Amino acid sequence: MHFTEPLPLRSGKLLHEYTLTYETYGTLNADRSNAVLVCHALNASHHVAGTYEGQAKSEGWWDNLIGPGKPLDTDQFFVIGVNNLGSCFGSTGPMQTDASTGAAYGADFPVVTVEDWVDSQARLLDRLGINQLAAVLGGSLGGMQALSWSLQYPTRLRHCVAVATAPNLSAQNIAFNKVARRAIVTDPDFHGGHFYAQGVLPRRGLRVARMIGHITYLSDDAMEAKFGRDMKAAEPAYSTQDVEFEIESYLRHQGDKFSDYFDANTYLLITRALDYFDPARHFGGDLSATFARAVCKFQLVSFSTDWRFSPERSREIVKALLDNKLDVSYAEIDAPHGHDAFLLDDARYHGVLRACFDNIARELAHTSAQVGRLATSTAAGSSSRDIELIAQMVPTGSRVLDLGCGNGELLAHLRQHRLCTGYGVELNDANLLTCVKRGVNVIQLNLEDGLATFADQSFDVVLQLDTMQHLRNTERMLTETARVGRTGIVSFPNFAHWPNRLSVVRGRMPVTKALPYEWYDTPNLRVGTFADFEQLARKLSLKVLDAYGIQNGAPIRNWPNLRASVAVFSFERRGSQGRLGKR
Amino acid sequence: MHFTEPLPLRSGKLLHEYTLTYETYGTLNADRSNAVLVCHALNASHHVAGTYEGQAKSEGWWDNLIGPGKPLDTDQFFVIGVNNLGSCFGSTGPMQTDASTGAAYGADFPVVTVEDWVDSQARLLDRLGINQLAAVLGGSLGGMQALSWSLQYPTRLRHCVAVATAPNLSAQNIAFNKVARRAIVTDPDFHGGHFYAQGVLPRRGLRVARMIGHITYLSDDAMEAKFGRDMKAAEPAYSTQDVEFEIESYLRHQGDKFSDYFDANTYLLITRALDYFDPARHFGGDLSATFARAVCKFQLVSFSTDWRFSPERSREIVKALLDNKLDVSYAEIDAPHGHDAFLLDDARYHGVLRACFDNIARELAHTSAQVGRLATSTAAGSSSRDIELIAQMVPTGSRVLDLGCGNGELLAHLRQHRLCTGYGVELNDANLLTCVKRGVNVIQLNLEDGLATFADQSFDVVLQLDTMQHLRNTERMLTETARVGRTGIVSFPNFAHWPNRLSVVRGRMPVTKALPYEWYDTPNLRVGTFADFEQLARKLSLKVLDAYGIQNGAPIRNWPNLRASVAVFSFERRGSQGRLGKR
């Protein structure tokens, strides 16, 4: 699509006219609400899904994710793939002719930023008559565009799905980009970026750049598994320049292939756009202040072995979203492939995105999540009746953080019956997926790492049900709970319940309904009694608001230390003004 | 020193004559036994310590470690630094004249390997009249040379001290080297390696190569802490080629500096020597078979954030040494600096090397380790009398593995009084250092990761004293103990000791001498009774050989489950032929 209104760029320059190449998949619905924009990363294009007729290698770059019946289902959604400005795949870029000079732009193509791309994409949507997107989806640099959409056009998207991305590049990321660019610009065939006129291509530089990139896309382990130290020949040739190892051959092949189809100036532009992306820069680096503008819902995904955009970087974004009380779910997929994982099939990853887009589709159809169809098994030690008892302690309309939320049953219950909002924290992949399917906000974090992600007094109630005893850092978790929430509620197995006492008197560790594990393989790393907790609460300056036991689903208020298998405490920080039920 | 006898190289070529440049520090003693050879890494030289007179920047590259009173004390040792063949710092290399042609070697300098370097170093020692080295010390590529010494000339060194090294390069390591070399050889000023004659230098390629190297020497975190996203100017220039970020400026500076003093052909040779190093190649990749030749003692050190030569790679070497029953200690230093850490000051790192070289100096003087001067505090829950009781269970002359060995007191006791040999495993840095000071072999490993480092039935006795209860993987640790040792001996606090029973009957978790921690901050993650263990042993098919309690340092054989605060069991695999005391 051709645009003749000039596009003002962040650099202060104007792009007087330009073309955006795009593809669409599926059908735009009547109220134009089911459009999903897919943003591409470094070397991809508008061709995100499907296969061009008659062309062998024309499969869309995200075809495993996007299509009829796939996680982003084009039977449900109208998917738009757009090629970014500065690219070499159709949209206006350095290889194309600058109308004002009649020559190829080359190195004179203006530097474009992630924000410029998003502006240009917004204009395309204007033309397509799409006011609000159901979602923007992107991975890596595409994820940066998705994030930027939520900041530049907050009300024009309902969901932001950002995979394997970061709020900005780290020093190491910039360093790799720098080296790649140096390799290109010092190639004598680069001619200061005006090589088209010379009839040459700076292939050597592009090859080196691509080789560096490829190393950073793969995890160390994945590269080792694929290539190891395999050699081309049985014996080394003892040469400094021959290709001796398979990994050398692979990199060389990747470099050669890339230098055949990619443009050097585009490579410089795109890596620079990556370098410059830093929406928090104008907020003194404060990412939470940056996201104050955002209103959409977020789904973030990272991969454990991605050392280019590590999970830590996604967690920074999660924290900023939480600080702004935005809806967010976050999955940290334990995949071996490194950064490349975002393009690969992984059942857990695709499962989370499928659940996410299913929810968006239902939201569009104004139907609620499939709660009824979900399994409702609960964690060992707590029953549905226990959950109902504890739910009654949570004031209507509370903002709740459920630490160790399991399959999200309690959060869903609180949302439905007590109009609560909030988040669960869960480590287990299957539980996480169930939460996403329920439409419950869930953050995949290890509670042993603490609650630094959550701001002071940012919740009315923080729940730690059947969770505390699984964690080593008991004291820290309790003080953190009281820091993050106005009220904390914990439940845990009471070791002083009389059958347990009896077992110990007989010289054996107990195995009961509330303590169903053998001493040597229990997830319970902390074993305490109702009475022990009272003393710990005093030590930690926690003011106990209520305390009782639960036995067979019934509250026990007389002699709970003896008579109840489960202990329940609600508490707040001593000197705190908040009270349960008063806000 | 000039050599006229030709040196046969691994490539099959001969180096007809050559010069090795070297420096020495300290004084060779009368029996020529105190020499330590220091091997250099990629861009260093023979100038390892001291400062040349009148030159500003002539400090030796390892001057913080080597000198009078330093960890490698030149008042005690005669230290030799030698420049490797192929280098550009004095020894024969590509920049020097090939006598047979009268021109500079350039790209015709033969490919040299780590093994070739070690051969040449051995010839230097012949000339210096040194038959056996007290130690070979090296870091990174220097560590590879130290390892290779132990394989090529097993009896010519007493100790191998290898820091931040690997048994070979990983695919990722080779990949980075490949890219660096591509950058050099595709620089038009390289002229196929014969650039000297052209009066030019392939500076652009060398710069890119050095920039890539520098990224891999630093940890991501260290680079972030040092540079982050700091920019040269307040506002971006929006340019693809300007230096905008501090990290770009730093890398460019490093690249420029390097290209001023380093030779491109040397860079190719040295990275190729790294690629080729793989002593296990001729043993089908079996590193344990490879080290069957070695006889010296080993001290290995790695750094937690080193992603170039990660701790995992050092652990591979440790395993191979253990499989050959060689003396080895291994320290895994939790340092933030990445691979560069091996050149930096870190108190724990230098402490371990100081203790190591102190022991070597004492060994030369035929004096024993300073056991008397060391603190003899033991882990909570066990007393010296407990240790003596348990020591009596270990047959004289046993090969012992002590899991969670603390400060090594028991191992030292067993060595001194019962002529035992073996290793301790310990995670704590201070305990590790005390073990090294005692001259006890100690391996820094996390027992939660299992015992894969240790071969089947490789020890007579495996001890797990006051350790089992701190680990989550109780069952795995017990079966692994019985796999690795003919006999296992465990001790742990007995929860059924009567004061504990009394406390629970009163509704509180016990705090006693044997269980001195509060339930919420105890390192004891597993709480069991004497009677519980009997049942677990049955479940795991462990045959209990002996079982008793300990109370106040005395053995309790009647009613131990009630009367003893500590439980002790020795066991073996059911069906195993070994018996305690019979071999």
- Torsion over CA: B12, B16, B22, B24 (sign): positive
Which residues in chain B are contacts of A526 at CB distance < 8 A? Answer: 519-520
Task: Write down the H helix ranges in A220-245.
Answer: 220-226
Q: What is the average pLDDT across B315-328?
A: 97
Q: Does the beta-carbon distance from B518 to A530 stay under 8 Å?
A: no
Residue B29: exposed, middle, or buried by beta-carbon count in 10 A (0-12, 13-18, 19+)?
middle
pLDDT band at B375 (very low <50, low <70, confident <90, very high): very low
pLDDT band at B377 (very low <50, low <70, confident <90, very high): very low
Q: What is the average pLDDT across B10-14?
A: 95
Which residues in chain B are contacts of A240 at CB distance < 8 A? Answer: 107, 111, 181, 265, 268-269, 271-272
Query: Which of A13, A116, A172, A540 is most worth mutating to test chain B (most B CB atoms within 10 A of its CB)?
Result: A172
Query: What was the pLDDT predicted at B422?
Result: 96
For the question of residue B140 being annotated catalytic, the response is: yes
Q: Does the beta-carbon distance from A248 to B178 stay under 8 Å?
A: yes
Where do we find the tokens 């797990």?
A: B464
Please tell me the distance in Å from A26's CA to the nearest CA on chain B: 38
pLDDT at A582 over 60: no
Nearest CA in chain B to A563: B507
pLDDT at B581 over 90: no
Please tell me the distance in Å from A62's CA to the nearest CA on chain B: 26
Query: CB neighbours (10 Å) of residue A449?
Result: 10
Residue A562: exposed, middle, or buried by beta-carbon count in 10 A (0-12, 13-18, 19+)?
middle
pLDDT band at A54 (very low <50, low <70, confident <90, very high): confident
Q: Does the beta-carbon distance from A207 to B182 stay under 8 Å?
A: yes
Q: Are strands B297-303 and B328-333 parallel, antiparallel or unpaired?
A: parallel
Which residues in chain B are contacts of A276 at CB distance < 8 A? Answer: 236, 238
Using CB atoms, pick whichever of B13, B245, B507 lies closest to residue A561. B507
Question: pTM score > 0.95 for this model?
Answer: no
Chain A contact for B171 (CB, 8 A cutoff): yes
Where do we find the tokens 């201070």?
A: B430
Nearest-5° angle of CA B523, CA B525, CA B528? Answer: 120
Among A107-116, A515-524, B203-212, B271-280, which stretch is predicted with the lowest mean pLDDT?
Answer: A515-524
Which residues in chain B are contacts of A183 at CB distance < 8 A? Answer: 183, 208
Q: What is the average pLDDT across A222-233?
A: 94
CB under 8 A, 24+ apart: contacts of B70-74: B71/B350, B71/B351, B71/B353, B71/B354, B71/B357, B72/B36, B72/B38, B72/B137, B72/B353, B72/B357, B73/B357, B73/B361, B74/B25, B74/B26, B74/B49
Chain A contact for B344 (CB, 8 A cutoff): no
Chain A contact for B348 (CB, 8 A cutoff): no
Polymer length of chain A: 583
Chain A contact for B284 (CB, 8 A cutoff): no
For the stretch B153-193, pLDDT in tens is 999 999 999 999 999 999 999 999 999 999 999 999 999 99
> CB-based contacts of A553: which residues, under 8 Å, 6+ apart?
A383, A385, A386, A389
A residues 404-443 lying closer than 8 A (beta carbon) to B: none
pLDDT at B370 over 90: no
A residues 474-493 lying closer than 8 A (beta carbon) to B: 474-475
Q: Report CA B123 to chain centroid distance, whole Å.
A: 27
Query: Which of B187, B194, B214, B229 is most worth mutating to test chain A (most A CB atoms within 10 A of its CB)?
Result: B229
Q: Does the beta-carbon distance from A501 to B520 stay under 8 Å?
A: no
pLDDT band at A438 (very low <50, low <70, confident <90, very high): very high
Query: What was the pLDDT predicted at A376?
Result: 44
For the stretch A547-561, pLDDT in tens is 999 999 999 999 999
Q: What is the average pLDDT across B565-579?
A: 82
* Residues B551 and B561: beta-carbon distance below 8 Å: no
pLDDT band at B55 (very low <50, low <70, confident <90, very high): low
Q: Give me the percent of chain B exceeding a pLDDT of 90.
A: 89
Q: Does the beta-carbon distance from B111 to A227 stay under 8 Å?
A: no
Joined together, the tokens standing for residue B255 give 């690249």
Chain B contact for A472 (CB, 8 A cutoff): yes
pLDDT band at A374 (very low <50, low <70, confident <90, very high): very low
Chain B contact for A530 (CB, 8 A cutoff): yes
Query: Which of B112, B182, B540 is most worth mutating to test chain A (most A CB atoms within 10 A of its CB)?
Result: B182
Using CB atoms, pick whichever of A113, A175, A251 lies closest to residue B178. A251
Query: What was the pLDDT predicted at B513?
Result: 86
Query: CB neighbours (10 Å) of residue B289?
Result: 15
Query: Which of the following is catalytic: B91, B140, B219, B491?
Result: B140
Please tell me the distance in Å from B76's CA to the nearest CA on chain A: 40
Using CB atoms, pick whichever of A175, A182, A310 lies closest to residue B215. A175
Chain A contact for B186 (CB, 8 A cutoff): yes
Which residues in chain B are contacts of A229 at CB distance < 8 A? Answer: 168-171, 174, 278
For the question of residue B368 being annotated catalytic, the response is: no
* Region at A72 (left for phi over 0; alpha for psi -120 to 50; beta for the rest): beta
* Residues B565 and B550: beta-carbon distance below 8 Å: yes
Chain B contact for A272 (CB, 8 A cutoff): yes
Q: Does the beta-carbon distance from A520 to B504 stay under 8 Å?
A: no
* Position A468, amino acid: M
Task: Write down the H helix ranges in B140-245.
Answer: 141-152, 171-185, 203-217, 220-226
CA distance A360 to B74: 71
Q: What is the average pLDDT across B441-465?
A: 96
Q: What is the average pLDDT across A382-395?
A: 83
Query: What was the pLDDT predicted at B368?
Result: 52
A residues 92-131 lying closer than 8 A (beta carbon) to B: 107, 110-111, 113
Chain B contact for A255 (CB, 8 A cutoff): yes
For the stretch B497-518, pLDDT in tens is 999 999 999 999 999 888 899 9
Number of A/B CB contacts below 8 angstroms equals 246
Joined together, the tokens standing for residue B188 give 């038009």
pLDDT band at B582 (very low <50, low <70, confident <90, very high): very low
Which residues in chain B are contacts of A114 at CB distance < 8 A? Answer: none
For the stretch A295-339, pLDDT in tens is 999 999 999 999 999 999 999 999 999 999 999 999 999 999 999
Please tell me the distance in Å from A285's CA to the nearest CA on chain B: 10
Q: What is the average pLDDT across A26-52?
A: 95
* Residues A84 and A266: beta-carbon distance below 8 Å: no
CA distance B65 to B352: 12
Nearest CA in chain A to B250: A175
Which residues in chain B are contacts of A245 at CB distance < 8 A? Answer: 171, 174, 178, 275
* Residues B250 and B89: beta-carbon distance below 8 Å: no
Q: Does the beta-carbon distance from A504 to B507 stay under 8 Å?
A: no
Please tell me the distance in Å from B42's CA to the nearest CA on chain A: 15
Please tell me the distance in Å from B226's CA to the nearest CA on chain A: 9
* Position B138, amino acid: G
Q: Does the beta-carbon distance from A175 to B247 stay under 8 Å?
A: yes
Where do we find the tokens 């263990």?
A: B533
Query: Which of the following is catalytic: B119, B263, B278, B306?
Result: B306
pLDDT at B44 over 50: yes
Which residues in chain B are contacts of A271 at CB distance < 8 A? Answer: 240
Is this prediction's ipTM beyond 0.85?
yes
Q: Does the beta-carbon distance from A268 to B240 stay under 8 Å?
A: yes
* Residues B583 and B516: beta-carbon distance below 8 Å: no
For the stretch A528-548, pLDDT in tens is 999 999 999 999 999 999 999
pLDDT at B569 over 70: yes
Please tell me the distance in Å from A223's CA to the nearest CA on chain B: 6
Please tell me the distance in Å from B475's CA to the nearest CA on chain A: 7
Where do we find the tokens 């000023």?
A: B189
Among A233-237, A364-368, B386-390, which stretch is predicted with the lowest mean pLDDT?
Answer: A364-368
Q: Count helices and strands (H / E) in chain A.
A: 17, 21
Please tell me the distance in Å from A72's CA to the nearest CA on chain B: 34
pLDDT band at A576 (very low <50, low <70, confident <90, very high): low
Please tell me the distance in Å from B532's CA to the nearest CA on chain A: 6
* Residues B559 and B525: beta-carbon distance below 8 Å: no
Annotated catalytic residues of A are: 140, 306, 339
Q: Are strands A566-573 and A485-493 parallel, antiparallel or unpaired?
A: antiparallel
Q: Does the beta-carbon distance from B169 to A229 stay under 8 Å?
A: yes
pLDDT at B5 over 70: yes
> CB-based contacts of A238: which residues, under 8 Å, 6+ apart?
B10, B11, B12, B13, B110, B111, B113, B276
Where do we find the tokens 């756009």?
A: A273
